[in-house]
Structures are given as structure tokens and as C-alpha cells.
């Protein structure tokens, strides 16, 4: 087989066989197929697309390029949740203890973040003492004993995806639905869960800005799951505004704790309940979505979810008192209020812009090597639809290094759009896609 023939076949819009796809992916990984050939192929895919069978073959070829995680020693049906990412998206921090508290085993492998704030691991490390260092045996033992554990993801998962994603990034071939779907699903499948719940975000704070593209991505990923025998459900949710009110590592942990106590932002709680219900049904902890929602709401109202969060923190060496006393989290030296420069109804909040502002304050990594400041970030005081008066606080900036402060303050104020007439916020969930 020659790479040039496979590239030509794709360029002509023909369907590649599983062998041809596997030949390309394995050749690319072992260096016998060059970057320029893989780039040409990715561009051909960008224009010609891929069939459902090709997309699932590509996914499995990438899974096979590296290690896969074996969770078979953990009792019960393991359901993994993945979000395509957004701004102020604290769902994992809420969902993990929430669903664990009703009996869904949570075996979370997570990573560090690149972009507006850290990843789940960075956020959890803002809890004093919290450590994700563990052996696989400890991890398995914790999930079996407590129903919940987290550990850092192995670097040896889906090396083909890492290499191809970096290449796509510099060859204008990222925005291809089959390439994105196989990239995300390969990582999820290699991580070993039995079932997968996907939160596909759409709007200006999301990777897929257009709703139609997000729905197509969701369908493509659910179809991959079906073809490879891992039941997958996707929710398409709104990211045209920040989901919660906190953007920043410790601030998001604080918001997650408030949400577990029933006090956090309503949208965040609502999305967690909906995602959690899908997880509970897939894990066979509840027979249907309605009864799953009842169990989850009870867990929030009774303190059961909060107690699971305390336990989760304690078994990872963290100071569980943070759940009762949020001031034990890292605190920024300075708080700066951003006020409304006019009165009116908030008609939009540019989520991505706020994410960039949080990063400029030090909450996120601009490059893989950057250090992050766990204490800093942005807390929003209003959401889309609220009426605010001139001079009212829109947001508080939590600051340690004042270097970018004045520009960030201006940009945060500019991220709010206003209307003279009342505004109806967009729906939180657009669609649920299942097999």
C-alpha cells in the first residue's frame, strides 16, 4: 500500500477501507508516513468528509495507537462524561460527587488545561493538600471503596491523535466534523469507560460556534459509540454565555461547592442535573430520566452530595474543611469591581472574551509551560436577561498581578451587551442525541 494512493482515493471522494485508514495512522505514528502526506490527507478529508464507517475506523486506529485503560477491576457500570469545553464550565466538579453520591461509580481520568482556566486537575489542586498522584491500584481501590476517584491521565493514550491534532492545528484542518469526532471519541474510548455522556457546547464561548455544527458533531460521536459498541448519549448545550458565574480555578471550586449545597448558579445546577440523569440511567442506577432526576435532586437537597464531596477531597489528601469554609481556598490579594457603564437589560455576555480576560489575569495557560495562578479570575454578578442600573457591579476581578488589570477591566465591561427592552435568555439545552 502507498500513502499517495490512499490520499488520492480520499481526494476523489471514495470511501477508504479500515486497512487503508489503519495503514495511514500507524505509518504516521511510526514515522514512515510524513507530515506532508498526512496534511494532504487531512485536507482531502476536510473537503470530502468521511462516512460513518470511515469515522469509526479512524477512531479505533487512533485508540490502537497507544495504551488503553482497563477499568474492569472496578465494580459497576463506569460512565464517563466529556465536555467539548467552554468558559466557566464547572460541571465535572459538581457532577463527579453528585452522581457518585447516588451510586454511579466515578473513575475520572483527567488532564491539565490549556486556555482560559486550568483543567479539572488544576482546579482540584487549588484545594489545600489535594493530590491526584496515585497508582492505578490505589485509584481502583478508591473507586471500589468510596465510589469516586480521580487520577492524572497517562501521556501514552492515543499518541496518533496528539500528533494529528498538532498537525491539523497548523494546516487549517481542525474544523472537520469527522476529524473532531474521532479525536474526542478515541480519547474517551481509550480511557476505558463502559458508557459515555457527552456535553457538546455551542455558542460564542464554544469550540463549535454554530448550533447546526454542534448537533452534527454530537450525532457523529453518538454514531461512533454505537458502531464500536459503547453506548453514548450527547447533550447539546448553550455556551453563548458563561455557564456558571465563576471563571478561575479556586473560584470554580467554590462555585461547585455552592452548587452542591443548592446555592450556586441555576444554569450550572440545571445542566449538571440533566447530564447526571443521563449518567445514572446509563449506569443503571435509575430506570429512567425522571427517577434519576428525583434521586439527584434529593442528593443536592439532603446534603448527601456535599458529604460525598468532603469524602472525595479527604481520600485525595485534601482539606475537606473547605466545603464548610471557602476562605481556606487560595485567595487573591485584590478585588476590583467592574461596573455597568449604562442601565439596561443584559442581552449578551461574550463568554470567550471573559475566558481570555481570566487567562490574562493568570488563571489559564497561554502555553503548555505557563504557570497558573489558582486564586485569580472573574466572578459574574449578573446573567443574560438581568436588568442592571448604571454603576451597578457586573463582575468582580480577583487579582494578584496588576500588570494587565486596567485593560482586563475594560475588556470585561465591554463583554456585556445591553438592550433597552427585556431579553429572554437562550435555552440551556438544545437537544439530546441518543442511539
- Residues of this chain that interact with ligand URA (CB under 6 A) are 165, 174, 179-180, 183-184, 207
What distance in Å separates the CA atoms of residue 412 and residue 99, rounded to the nearest whole number?
34
187 is catalytic: yes
Nearer to ligand URA, 183 or 304 (CB): 183
Nearest residue (beta carbon) to ligand URA: 183
Catalytic residue among 10, 78, 81, 82: 82
434 is catalytic: no
User: Cα 38 from chain centroid?
Assistant: 28
Nearest distance from residue 203's CB to ligand URA, in Å? 16
Catalytic residue among 176, 182, 183, 237: 183
Nearest distance from residue 175's CB to ligand URA, in Å? 9
Find out whether 241 and 351 touch, Cβ atoms under 8 Å. yes
Find out whether 63 and 193 touch, Cβ atoms under 8 Å. no
Nearest distance from residue 58's CB to ligand URA, in Å? 11
* CA dist 410 → 5, 194, 338, 418 (Å): 54, 47, 8, 16
Catalytic residue among 187, 195, 241, 316: 187
183 is catalytic: yes
Find out whether 116 and 244 touch, Cβ atoms under 8 Å. no
Nearer to ligand URA, 84 or 267 (CB): 84
User: Cα 295 from chain centroid?
Assistant: 24
Q: What residue has cell string 451597578?
A: 392
**DSSP annotation string for 397-432:** EEES-GGGHHHHHHHHHHTEEEESS--PPPPSEEEE
Helix or strand run (H / E) with residue 197: strand 195-202
Nearest distance from residue 165's CB to ligand URA, in Å? 5
Nearer to ligand URA, 28 or 398 (CB): 28
What distance in Å separates the CA atoms of residue 109 and residue 121, rounded to the nearest whole number?
9
Nearer to ligand URA, 308 or 365 (CB): 365
What distance in Å separates the CA atoms of residue 376 and residue 251, rounded to the nearest whole number?
8
Dihedral of alpha carbons 60, 63, 64, 68, sign = negative
Find out whether 188 and 231 touch, Cβ atoms under 8 Å. no
Nearest distance from residue 178's CB to ligand URA, in Å? 10
* CA dist 118 → 162, 173, 318, 332 (Å): 19, 25, 18, 16
Nearer to ligand URA, 94 or 180 (CB): 180
Nearer to ligand URA, 173 or 267 (CB): 173
User: Cα 228 from chain centroid?
Assistant: 22
Nearest distance from residue 36's CB to ligand URA, in Å? 20
Q: Which residues are catalytic?
A: 82, 161, 168, 183, 187
Amino acid at each position: 500500500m502507498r500513502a499517495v494512493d490512499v490520499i488520492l482515493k480520499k481526494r476523489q471522494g471514495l470511501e477508504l477501507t479500515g486497512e487503508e485508514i489503519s495503514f495511514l495512522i500507524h505509518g504516521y505514528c511510526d514515522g514512515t508516513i510524513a507530515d506532508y502526506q498526512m496534511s494532504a490527507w487531512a485536507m482531502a478529508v476536510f473537503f470530502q468528509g468521511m462516512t460513518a464507517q470511515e469515522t469509526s475506523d479512524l477512531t479505533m486506529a487512533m485508540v490502537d495507537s497507544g495504551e488503553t485503560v482497563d477499568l474492569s477491576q472496578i465494580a459497576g457500570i463506569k460512565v464517563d462524561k466529556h465536555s467539548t469545553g467552554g468558559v466557566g464550565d464547572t460541571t465535572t466538579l459538581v457532577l463527579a460527587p453528585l452522581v457518585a453520591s447516588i451510586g454511579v461509580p466515578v473513575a475520572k481520568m483527567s488532564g491539565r488545561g490549556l486556555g482560559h482556566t486550568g483543567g479539572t486537575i488544576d482546579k482540584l489542586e487549588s484545594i489545600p493538600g489535594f493530590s491526584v498522584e496515585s497508582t492505578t491500584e490505589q485509584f481502583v481501590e478508591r473507586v471500589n471503596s468510596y465510589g469516586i476517584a480521580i487520577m492524572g491521565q497517562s501521556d501514552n493514550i492515543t499518541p496518533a491523535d496528539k500528533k494529528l491534532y498538532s498537525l491539523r492545528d497548523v494546516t487549517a484542518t481542525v474544523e472537520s466534523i469527522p476529524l473532531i469526532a474521532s479525536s474526542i471519541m478515541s480519547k474517551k474510548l481509550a480511557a476505558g469507560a463502559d458508557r459515555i455522556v457527552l456535553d457538546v457546547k455551542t455558542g460564542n464561548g464554544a469550540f463549535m460556534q454554530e448550533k447546526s455544527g454542534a448537533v452534527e458533531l454530537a450525532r457523529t460521536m453518538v454514531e461512533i459509540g454505537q458502531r464500536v459498541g459503547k453506548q453514548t448519549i450527547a447533550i447539546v448545550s448553550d455556551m453563548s454565555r458563561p455557564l456558571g458565574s465563576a471563571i478561575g480555578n479556586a473560584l470554580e471550586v467554590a462555585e461547585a461547592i455552592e452548587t452542591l449545597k443548592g446555592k450556586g448558579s441555576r444554569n450550572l445546577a440545571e445542566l449538571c442535573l440533566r447530564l447526571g440523569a443521563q449518567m445514572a440511567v446509563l449506569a443503571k442506577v435509575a430506570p429512567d430520566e425522571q427517577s434519576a432526576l428525583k434521586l439527584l435532586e434529593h442528593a443536592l437537597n439532603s446534603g448527601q452530595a456535599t458529604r460525598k464531596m468532603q469524602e472525595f477531597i479527604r481520600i485525595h489528601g485534601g482539606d475537606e474543611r473547605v466545603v464548610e469554609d471557602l476562605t481556606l481556598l487560595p485567595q487573591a490579594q485584590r478585588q476590583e469591581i467592574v461596573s455597568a457603564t449604562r442601565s439596561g437589560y443584559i442581552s449578551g455576555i461574550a463568554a470567550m472574551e471573559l475566558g481570555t480576560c481570566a487567562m490574562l489575569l493568570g488563571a489559564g495557560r497561554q502555553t503548555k509551560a505557563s504557570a497558573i495562578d489558582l486564586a485569580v479570575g472573574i466572578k459574574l454578578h449578573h446573567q443574560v436577561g438581568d436588568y442592571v442600573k448604571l454603576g451597578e457591579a457586573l463582575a468582580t476581578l480577583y487579582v494578584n498581578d496588576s500588570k494587565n488589570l486596567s485593560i482586563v477591566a475594560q475588556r470585561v465591561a465591554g463583554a456585556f451587551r445591553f438592550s433597552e427592552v427585556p431579553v429572554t435568555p437562550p435555552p440551556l439545552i438544545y437537544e439530546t442525541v441518543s442511539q
